[in-house]
A and B are shown apart, each in its own frame.
Chain A
Amino acid sequence: MVAGVAGRASRDTGTLSDVRRWWRATHPGPGVWRRLDTIYTIAISVAILGGLAYGTASSALAQVVTPDALARFGPPAALLGLLVTAQWGAYQGPVVFSVPDVAHLLGAPLPRRGLAWRRLARGLGAGALAGAVLGALLLVGLAGRGRTVATERATALVAAAAELGLLGVGAAWAVERSAQWERAARLAVWPGAALAAALVVAVRSGEPWRTVARWSGPWAWAVQAPAGAAPGQWLTALGALTAAAAVAFAAAVHDAGRCSAERHLRRAEARAGAVAALMLFDARSARRAFDTPPAGGTATTRHARLAWARHAIGARGARPPARALATVWRDGVAAQRTRGRVIEAAVVTASGTVLALLDTDRPAAVLAAMALVYTGAARMLWPLRAELDLTSRARILLRPPLGSVMVAHLLVPSLATAAAAALAAGACAIAGGLGRNGGLAAVLAVLAAPTAVACAAMSARRGGRLPQSVLAGAMAADPSGGGIGVVTWLAWWPAAAAVLGAGPLLIATHDGVAAGVLAAAGAGAVVAALAGSLARGPTAP
């Protein structure tokens, strides 16, 4: 017989269970002894290290996790946690197949629901477990420093955290499977962040705002028991949260098969790309693996063409006369095209500036605030990263030497972040939030923004990939297996930005104007040196 194209025989009733059985036969898991060995190793490690870790964790957590802190910051933190978990569905989510799975399993006449539900159940279980572990950690903190927590309240905290975890994974699945939910989750980020900030303020205010905050949603229901609410209240809240979690679970299971192959394929390809990039310690490529062009679009062909034409005409009209301004023009166009990125950078920079100016008594808080400013600056430098990732393209499209291009890329981000910082400092001044030597502090906080931009540019110049030399050197010299060396490499420029931004500010507010000006001059000299270094071009790969 010469085999060729299969005959049009009717299909057997092929079932998913046949495929599963075959898969288990071709991919045998670890044997019983191997599993027992793993369990024994974990148990013995926990027994030996658990006591030590508990003592350390308890004393550390007890300082931060108090009933009062939980009542004040618990709801906003839980809300942000839920938002982040839901956003995870926009990039991966609880149900992710491999690329061949999409071709061979999702491309077969097998029920999608049957293929997805086990992964989904594992994801929901993992979410609940992660929540329970987090709840247990909070409990360790609450019970520290001689405080006691009633058993029923402790149980309620762990159960509520588990339910929140389940709710978050349920939301992530909704976002993963549906473009509408994905859009809604994206739109909910800033309102959610604003609500979180409002919750902090509301809890500090008197009634009725405190009550409103306490019943504002599942994020607040979850912390009522450990925050000291009356039994009737926290039981009602826990009941409401349980009902919400049950609805989320039922909805997730009901919609287990309702995710298109395209959405699965997008996530499968993103994961494969990210894993490949991370194997090379290339964080930037890993991040880019998750950036995919949006499907859909309501424009007609004609409309789309006109949109392109309008853009081309607009861009041509705005083209600068001087070659030297090409990079600035390019940054301007990029900012116009990705307004969300610019707004995000401005908000983060402004938040960092406000925090730095309001908390000048605590150096750690000012340093953390400056790290936020660095984050905003790094977000603004996306066009520079694009140039550095594809230097061959940049060399063709941009005629000046790449060093000049890199320096030119500092202008727009510096202006944008400094403007955001200036607005934030102005708002602080109007609200009377500036402390000692407040005027100089405000100026220095604004100047910290371009400083952070210079540091972020230095970080960008290194490329997204961890150099092999750094890795090899770190592993050879560092007993931690290279961890400390790698973390140092990663944190170097954010830390530099934090020190250069926070240093003059702290000195000005604690040691006087003259010392502050001197420190600012020093920081300025460092920034000038960094710009000079950038002008020499990218570092060798």
Chain B
Amino acid sequence: MGGVAPLETSALRRAYGRLVALAGLTLTVGAGECVALIGANGSGKSTAVRTIAGLLEPTGGTVRICGHDPHVEPEGEDARAELAVVPDAPLLYDDLTVRQHLELVTLSHGVAREGVDDRIDGLLDRLGLGTRGDFLPRELSRGMRQKTQLACALVRPAAVLVLDEPVVGLDPPSQVLLAELLHEAKRTERAVLLTTHQMAFADDLADRAVVLDEGEVVDEGAWSAVRERAEARGWSRA
């Protein structure tokens, strides 16, 4: 990989007509690092995640995933190979079971077939979905669908893990499990970018934080310092 950071954005900008949802986000997430994007509703967090994930075209600036631009083809294929995204709302097929979702992800990401079934079983067990492998999404609760989406992101290798509001819909034990998995991702040199309203969830996890307001970066730095300043503004008490 050389000196290339897993995730880099430079002056990333996104506008919807005249509404500027993201106004120049410059960010680097290194290997084994976790950065939290925080901000109020409508501050541009999800727009940032979707633009980084290639689901929204930037109106300015650049995104690089391990040096590859996800918005340019065929370079985007290399970027998508290194990027795992967990959206804020589960995006699952109505007619595929939980296990089939994971099979599809491993196939489409070219994960070596050897041992993949054991890996899927193990991941489903760990996420508490072991007995739900043959269930369709409509037969699952919101939290279980969210876990299925999470499993889709974790079942295949990726250098960058991007999670949009990952704790929404998860019960406290599942939140603890999610934190464990993200710690594990950090330990194995993944770059993790997550958005959250829940400062407590990011406390042990995030190394740095970026605060967005009206699409603009209003604060950034080490997690503890940003958290202190946020508390001083009364933001984290909410």
Contacts and interface: CB of A to CB of B under 8 A. Distances in A.
A205 interface: no
Given A5-B185, A108-B105, A304 B111 contact: no
Pick from A1, A9, A27, A301 the residue with the most CB of B within 10 Å.
A301
B124 to A, nearest CB: 8
Give the interface residue-count category, chain B: 35 or more
Interface string B97-131: 00011011101111111000011011101100000
Interface stretch (B84-92, B193-201, B227-235): B84-92
Contacts of B157: 6-9, 11
Nearest to B31: A8
Contact of B53 (A9, A107, A304): A107
Contact of A6 (B71, B101, B155): B155
Contacts of A540: none
A358 interface: no
B190 interface: yes
Contacts of B111: 6, 9, 11-12, 14
B220 to A, nearest CB: 18
A45 interface: no
Contacts of B18: 297, 299, 304, 307-308
Contacts of B71: 260
A146 interface: no
A4 B126 contact: yes
A6 B76 CA distance: 21
A19 interface: yes
Contact of B159 (A8, A99, A109, A301): A8
Interface string A115-144: 000000000000000000000000000000
Contacts of A107: 53-55, 80, 85
Nearest to A264: B55
For this complex, into which size category does the number of interface residues on chain A fall?
A: 35 or more
Interface string A82-114: 000000000000000011101111011111110
Contacts of B108: 14, 19, 104-105, 108-110
Interface in A302-330: 304, 307-308
B118 to A, nearest CB: 7
Contact of B91 (A15, A99, A113): A99
B109 to A, nearest CB: 6
A399 interface: no
A108 B105 CA distance: 8
Given A5-B154, A100-B91, A19 B104 contact: yes
B17 A293 contact: yes
A304 B121 CA distance: 51
A103 B73 contact: no
A393 interface: no
Contact of A11 (B81, B85, B118): B81
B188 interface: yes
Q: Which 5 A-B pairs have the closest CB atoms?
A: A14-B110, A3-B122, A108-B108, A109-B81, A103-B91
Interface of B: 14-20, 23, 53-57, 59, 71, 73-74, 76-78, 80-81, 85, 87, 91-93, 95-96, 100-101, 103-105, 107-113, 118-119, 121-123, 125-126, 152, 154-159, 161, 181, 184-185, 188-190, 215-216
Given A1-B118, A12-B110, A299-B15, 8 more contacts: A2-B122, A6-B156, A11-B157, A19-B104, A104-B104, A109-B80, A112-B74, A297-B59
